[in-house]
Amino acid sequence: MPSLRPRLVSTESACAFLKHDGVVTCWGKSDAGGDSRGLQERLQDVQSVHATDGAFAALRKDGTVVSWGDQTFGGDSTSVQDQLYDVQEIHSTDGAFAAFRKDGVVVSWGDRHCGGDSTDVREQLRDVQELHSNRSAFAVICKDRSVVAWGAHRRGGSSYHVQKQLCDVREICFNRVVFAAIRKDGTVVSWGDAECGGDSRHVQDQLHDVRSLHSTEWSFAAIRNDDTVVTWGDQTFGGDSTPVQKQLYDVQQIHSTDVAFAALRKDGAVVIWGGKLRGGDSTSVQEQLKDVQQIYSNKVAFAATRKDGAVVSWGDAVDSTGVQSELQEVQEIHSASYAFAALRKDGTVASWGDQRCGGDITSVQEQLQDVTAIHATAQAFAALRKDGTVVSWGKPGYGGDSRHVQEQLQSVQEIHSTKLAFVAVRQDGQLVFWGYPDMEDNKSFPKIQEPLVRETDDSMVTFCCRLGW
């Protein structure tokens, strides 16, 4: 039997790694899933592992499920254990899990405010074909192409006001607090937070012949079959494309940061709109955005590669001017939340963005030679070199400092990452962990924080309030 594809996932303060042989290894804060010693015998023959903010769930090859961690986040599935058999897939919200069985039944557990209690729709969760989730709710497409949703009502967990329209559904997309369904006829139905895209009635006459949907955290953009674009949701953060609407034609791709969109047209031009402080304003580089071939994004900025091999970036704290001479013959670009790293054809690396979060490689520049792969956590990078050694940089708590495990980082074959940490798999099968929470010292856990926002304006005040900052 072929080996599994390894996977590293994390809660807010613990990590779980699924190895090639189907065994799961955990570390971090014990009450958030970092201690699975009492379950280790059952964490064998696992085919996938999943996480909420405080718990893990492992799907075994025999179709049973093992969960552990904070009970309020889905770490205790005792109440539904007898229903967890022949499971094919597991999905999660911030605080709950849902298991999709072979017979089309869906079973959920965890925080009821995040979809952990599906009692009210239990009889409808039959003949399910697809299961989806956003941060606080679940939605399924049934065999008859109707939709059932549950979880936080205002965040997509209640579709009662559009239920009659949810028929012949082709696919479901989502942002942080809203679901949007594309129907077979190309029309769109959305529900959830009205201000963030849950109410699309004002653009309903335009939402036809929709080919694909894209989202920021708080809005949506639809590409239609005629390559034009329709947007809705929070107007400040991508839901209003009126200022650039005339430029939105021949659109081939749409990319997004948390609050802004960038559309790539057939002629290689780029059109931007949304939150100005986080990628929605490209005024300073607009003349350079020609013959663009690919767009990359992180939480706060965009980077575009041009036909001539040059790289153009814009957004919050991502001025690439200082490394522009190094951004030639770029093979690929990788994103952390607030920085970018480019791997060049000669195996060297250039990085830019927030210097604390991976945007500054000064301290490791000389070591970044013969690099074959780059991986990222939320605020750090790790590069795998041809000789099997590893170089990391960025915020130490997110894996940016690997000095304490450097002697172990030899003969590394592959690296895996989650938002918090890295794990390296050596040729001898040994695993090396580093990042947050530190494997060597998991007694104290710093509160996860994003870099401080430097600029302020009315839109950022709205953004902070929406996030609860």
Cα 79 vs. chain centroid, distance in angstroms? 30
pLDDT tens across the length of the chain (469 residues): 455 778 999 999 999 999 999 999 999 999 999 999 889 899 999 999 999 999 999 999 999 999 999 999 999 999 999 999 999 999 999 999 999 999 999 999 999 999 999 999 999 999 999 999 999 999 999 999 999 999 999 999 999 999 999 999 999 999 999 999 999 999 999 999 999 999 999 999 999 999 999 999 999 999 999 999 999 999 999 999 999 999 999 999 999 999 999 999 999 999 999 999 899 999 989 999 999 999 999 999 999 999 988 899 999 878 787 888 888 889 999 999 999 999 999 999 999 999 999 999 999 999 999 999 999 999 999 999 999 999 999 999 999 999 999 999 999 999 999 999 999 999 999 999 999 755 444 433 333 333 333 333 444 444 444 443 3
The whole-number pLDDT of residue 438 equals: 55
The whole-number pLDDT of residue 2 equals: 52
CB 223 within 8 A of CB 211: yes
Distances (CA, A) of 393 to 97, 302, 361, 384: 34, 21, 7, 12
**Residue ranges with strand state E in 308-460:** 311-315, 330-335, 339-344, 349-353, 371-376, 380-385, 390-394, 412-417, 421-426, 431-435
Distances (CA, A) of 458 to 163, 199, 455, 461: 36, 23, 10, 5
The whole-number pLDDT of residue 6 equals: 84
In order, the DSSP letters of 174-221 are: E-SSEEEEEETTS-EEEEE-GGGTT--GGGTTT--SEEEEEE-SSEEE
CB 321 within 8 A of CB 313: no
What are the tens digits of pLDDT across the range 404-450?
A: 999 999 999 999 999 999 999 999 999 999 997 554 444 333 333 33
The whole-number pLDDT of residue 461 equals: 41
Using DSSP's 3-state secondary structure scheme, residue 138 falls into strand
CB 87 within 8 A of CB 98: no
Q: What is the dihedral of CA 320, 325, 328, 330, to 10 degrees?
A: -40
Distances (CA, A) of 277 to 235, 262, 415, 453: 14, 14, 33, 9
Q: Which of 74, 32, 39 is nearest to 437 (CA)?
A: 32
Q: How far apart are CA 93 and CA 373, in angstroms?
A: 30
The residue type at 375:
H
Structure tokens at 232: 């809705």
The whole-number pLDDT of residue 451 equals: 37
Using DSSP's 3-state secondary structure scheme, residue 48 falls into strand
Structure tokens at 148: 């059932």
Integer-rounded Cα Rg, in Å, for the chain is 23
Q: Which of 405, 406, 423 is nearest to 414 (CA)?
A: 423
Q: How far apart are CA 58 and CA 50, in angstroms?
A: 6
Looking at residue 347, the DSSP 8-state letter turns out to be S
The whole-number pLDDT of residue 3 equals: 59
Q: How far apart are CA 290 and CA 305, in angstroms?
A: 10
CB 353 within 8 A of CB 385: no
Structure tokens at 310: 């040059």
Q: Which of 290, 246, 297 is nearest to 270 (CA)?
A: 290
Whether omega before 243 lies within 30 degrees of 0, making that bond cis, reads no
Q: How far apart are CA 409 and CA 302, in angstroms?
A: 32
pTM for the model stands at: 0.90
What are the tens digits of pLDDT across the range 371-385?
A: 999 999 999 999 999
Instruction: Find the length of the chain.
Output: 469
Cα 193 vs. chain centroid, distance in angstroms? 20
Mark residue 189 as left, alpha or beta (left: phi above 0; alpha: psi -120 to 50; beta: remaining). Answer: beta
